[in-house]
Amino acid sequence: MMRRLLVANRGEIAVRVIRAARDLGVPTVAVYSDADRGALHTELADRAVCLGPAPAGASYLRQDLLLHVAEATGCDAIHPGYGFLSENPGFAASVEEAGATFVGPPAEVIAVMGDKAMARKAVAKVDVPVVPGSPDAVSNVDEAVAAAAECGYPVLLKARAGGGGKGMRVAGDEDELRECFTLARQEAAGAFGDDGIYVEKYLQRVRHVEVQVLADRHGRVIELGERDCSMQRRHQKVVEEAPSPALDAGRRQDLAGLAVRAAESVGYVGAGTVEFVLDMDTGAVYFIEMNTRIQVEHPLTEVLTGLDLVAWQLRIAAGEALQADPPPRRGHAMEFRINAEDWKRGFVPAPGTLTVFDPPAGPGIRVDTHCRPGAVISPHYDSLLGKLIVHGADRDEVLRRARRALSEFRVDGVHSTVGLHEWLLTQPEVVAGTYTTRYLTEALA
């Protein structure tokens, strides 16, 4: 196991990583910005070092500072969490060049899977189906128009780097594509420093289903089941559940096999998520991307399998081999993202100071959070307050427990999305599990 771990992140995921490391007996060093002084993750770590001012570009994204802190504090491994530098191949390469261990896949794997056009080409070589579209990023709008004509409108313009809905535009015809193209490139460049755009057929009624994989340094890849992430707003996940209500046993097995094949095609190492869309009109399944990091929604897999995925990230980074067979999955689970947002006013961010933060408890309830009363929710970072994970013997039990847990969740001082989730659990499509990725946007229109 590593000697000491630098946790190169903040908030909920930093708390999560520090706790997993402590369970393994690994000392940790936290980093923080001026805005996060006194935050929970800084208190849980064995040591905490200030990186600088609140803006992420002056603190959490400063690769030079992170490498300096790691060396100065004797850290021989760095965990990037999610977001920030977690899918930056340059950072991963710099960590390894400095003689430390990057807790994640090799830099070259991040580079391939982080470029959605390259990822499509890589998995297509091993017969994993991809959504029809341009084989590579297009260099100009005329190439985009030609690709759209080949696969048919409507089309989706997608940034080849990053995610979270940035650099994405739907075009219903050529005029709209020409209008959207420059905007998509500008947004992609601003978000990811890469204005590469590719064209993909826009599928209008889909479920977004992802498969969790683990891969060790000895060539073994296992799948740990799927998660359904179809409850979205502007391509941002709001509620996730596992297993997916949209899959039967045969399709579930097929999807798992495709995910393993995709991971094997690039020599994957660590925890990763292979993402697919299920076309509800045709029944076809298509690969869309692979996230080369731990996911926000990883606790769903943990409660169903009993595995600590973050601990396994650390164990794999230290060279440990995976178990012979994946553990069985038990029951059903849902995760509700609790954000500091005013969802009744277009989900505008709601920074401020938490005067009350009292999460629920009881059988089948888990809350992953970095918040407590008095915590300051900064406008500089994402608005996630915490994640409510509900586990039960079946989906009906989960829905009942979730209603009870949400009714107990107390948040004051800032607006939160607790009320949104309570409302969602009264909606027939949600209760029946028949929603698609367009459901929430249309329901709130």
Q: Where do the structural domains in the chain lie, given as residue ranges?
A: 5-103, 132-201, 206-443
State residue 198's pLDDT score.
87
> 177-203: buried (b, 16+ CB within 10 Å) or exposed (e) per residue?
beebbeebbebbbebbebbbbbbbbbb
Distance CA 280, CA 42 (A): 45
Domain 206-443 has CATH 3.40.50.720: no
How many angstroms separate the Cα of 304 from the Cα of each of 121, 225, 244, 327, 379?
32, 9, 13, 9, 34
Q: Is the pLDDT of residue 136 over 90?
A: no
Encoded tokens for 58 = 């002056």
Distance CA 225, CA 298 (A): 11
Could you read off the pLDDT of 164-221 as tens digits, one per residue? 677 889 999 999 999 999 999 999 888 888 898 989 999 989 999 999 999 999 999 9
Instruction: Look up the CATH superfamily of 132-201.
Output: ATP-grasp fold, A domain (3.30.1490.20)
Cβ-contact 424, 431 below 8 angstroms: no
State residue 261's pLDDT score.
97
Active site annotation includes 120: no
Greater pLDDT, 407 or 168: 407
Fold of 5-103: Rossmann fold (3.40.50)
According to DSSP, the residues that pair with 162 across neighbouring strands are none
Catalytic residue among 169, 293, 366, 395: 293
Do the domains 132-201 and 5-103 match in fold? no
